[in-house]
Chain A
Amino acid sequence: MKKTAKNTSRARATARDAARPSARRSAPAASTARRAAPAPVRIARIAKGKKPQYFSDPAIDKLLWMTLTLMEELSVTRDRLDAVENLLEGRRVLKIADVDGYRPAAAAGRRRQAQRAAYVDRMMRAAQAELEEITGRDMPLSEAEVVAAVEA
């Protein structure tokens, strides 16, 4: 019992040390040995302070956050694709104009079309799910109905 309490306080002290590593240097030698391979330092990602709510529903704030982060990553991906195209052109593997002028042959075109349709379907399932809830056959109208069906 006493040992557990001691361990807990050590765990707390370790957490504090991680946040305030200057204290780590004055830690006893035994704990230094235990940390033979120290974890890489992690810099905080969230600033201290109250985050304002911008929209009537906090979910909108979070969705905008995610949208802008996706926008950033799409920009990064386009830059990367551009880098790949330029490198390939530099090594005479292809010309960037070839990519611009590329029209898929019949089979490749069909494969691309199917991939695109599947992608659109996955994205739009958010709306489709609601529609099926309303119009689907034998759709339970509540969680209680599901439980009742299982119990029966």
Chain B
Amino acid sequence: MQAFKQHDMLPESSHDEQARQDFVMAFRGHLSGALMPGAYRVYHQRVEPAFRAARGRAPADQEEVRQVMTQDPYYQFWSAMQRRSQEMLWESVIEPTERQLPELIGRSRKLSKKTLAKGRKGTLRLDPALVVPKYHTAADIHLQPGGYHTDFTADDVAAGVVYDKGINIYMGGALGPENNLTGDTLLAYFREKHPQSRPARILDMGCAIGNCAVPWGRAFPDAELHAIDVGAPVLRYAHARAQALGVPIHFSQQNAEATDFEAGSFDLVVSHIMLHETSKSALVRILKECHRLLRPGALMLHLEIPRGKTVIEKFMHNWESYNNNETFCRYMTNIDLKSEAVKGGFDPAKTRMDEFVPKLDVAQMNYTESFFWNILAAHR
């Protein structure tokens, strides 16, 4: 595994701050690799047989699994520790970020003015009037205090810094040196299915810190690459980070449900594990907006996390919903993304769901024993 790359927008960690981050990563690795699989064993050997003995049948759905599993002492203990590990993860990166925040904001201002290779330059367009959707403001997603959207000071970049360092620990380093794994995964899928395609204008929706947009920018350096999000502090950070990495990207603060881009103006619209952070009504609106933005024949790709096939897998996946403020993800279990895309205006004959398997270590997976990605792909 490649080491996390220290670029100009990341804070330094003191010995003890680094030791705390290292501990959290080791602790979470143990929870995922050694203790989480035990929850499946406990279900098969103890919880499910007891349910059968009492009711004469197996649990019918994840809600029935939930009723019995949350009473099991092994599951309770793993679950409580998993929750605490997530809180500790943020704490361990908030400390160095807070300590160096004024300097980081200063660096972001300087980087914003930097001209990149071939005289190109990324841009940032914020909209202070934008209403941040309730799926962000009702509860802080992933337990990151303040979420993607809270400014703790003027020109704040803290949410982005904390997110960049935090998600690397979250995935046990598996996201790669620039947290590039999810971007690379969708890019690999795109290249496999459309080897000749050279999109000239690309949009990344729900870009957060732009970690998925950067690989697209590197892959298609001549393309005009746009990336949108609703959170101002993550966008300020994303802009400075992309400038630091030398990739020109045009960031703007916009809701993917309704953007100000011209209809039919994109060759490719992508998102990376964004849809499950939205809401039932937003989901269709986003897909409708994708349909509007694509020129005829152009492609939409959304990378999503599968929600499990068996009742226990579904229950384990939705740990995130009940314990990690991924409020919407449990509703995604029963949503057919293909039919949602059709509701959004896409032709069923040109819309498909694909499973895509990246090479990942089980010890890096939090709630499941096997892993693949879901990809919603549709041509306009």
Contacts and interface: CB of A to CB of B under 8 A. Distances in A.
Contact of B325 (A25, A41, A45, A47): A47
Contacts of A45: 90-91, 94, 145
A44 B87 CA distance: 12
B145 to A, nearest CB: 4
B145 A46 contact: yes
| Interface magnitude class on chain A | 20 to 34
Contacts of A49: 138-140, 143, 325
B154 A22 contact: yes
A10 interface: no
B15 A79 contact: yes
B144 interface: yes
| Interface magnitude class on chain B | 35 or more
Contacts of A43: 94, 97-98, 101, 145-146, 152, 158, 162
Contacts of A76: 16, 19-20, 23
Interface stretch (B78-86, B209-217, B238-246, B360-368): B78-86
B323 interface: yes
Interface string A55-73: 1000001001100110110
A67 to B, nearest CB: 9
Contacts of A80: 15-16, 19
B22 interface: yes
B15 A83 contact: yes
Contacts of A83: 15
Contact of A52 (B90, B94, B322): B322
B22 A68 contact: no
Given A43-B158, A72-B88, A21 B143 contact: no
A71 B27 CA distance: 10
A54 interface: yes
B98 A72 contact: no
B84 A65 contact: yes
Contacts of B156: 21, 41
Contacts of B247: none
Contact of B81 (A46, A68, A75): A68
Interface in B112-165: 128, 138-140, 143-147, 150-154, 156, 158, 162
A75 B24 CA distance: 10
11 contacts: A44-B150, A47-B144, A49-B138, A49-B139, A51-B83, A52-B322, A54-B77, A55-B80, A64-B84, A79-B19, A80-B19
Interface of A: 20-22, 24-25, 40-52, 54-55, 61, 64-65, 68-69, 71-72, 75-76, 79-80, 83
Q: Which 10 A-B pairs have the closest CB atoms?
A: A49-B139, A54-B80, A44-B145, A47-B140, A79-B19, A47-B143, A75-B23, A76-B19, A41-B153, A48-B140
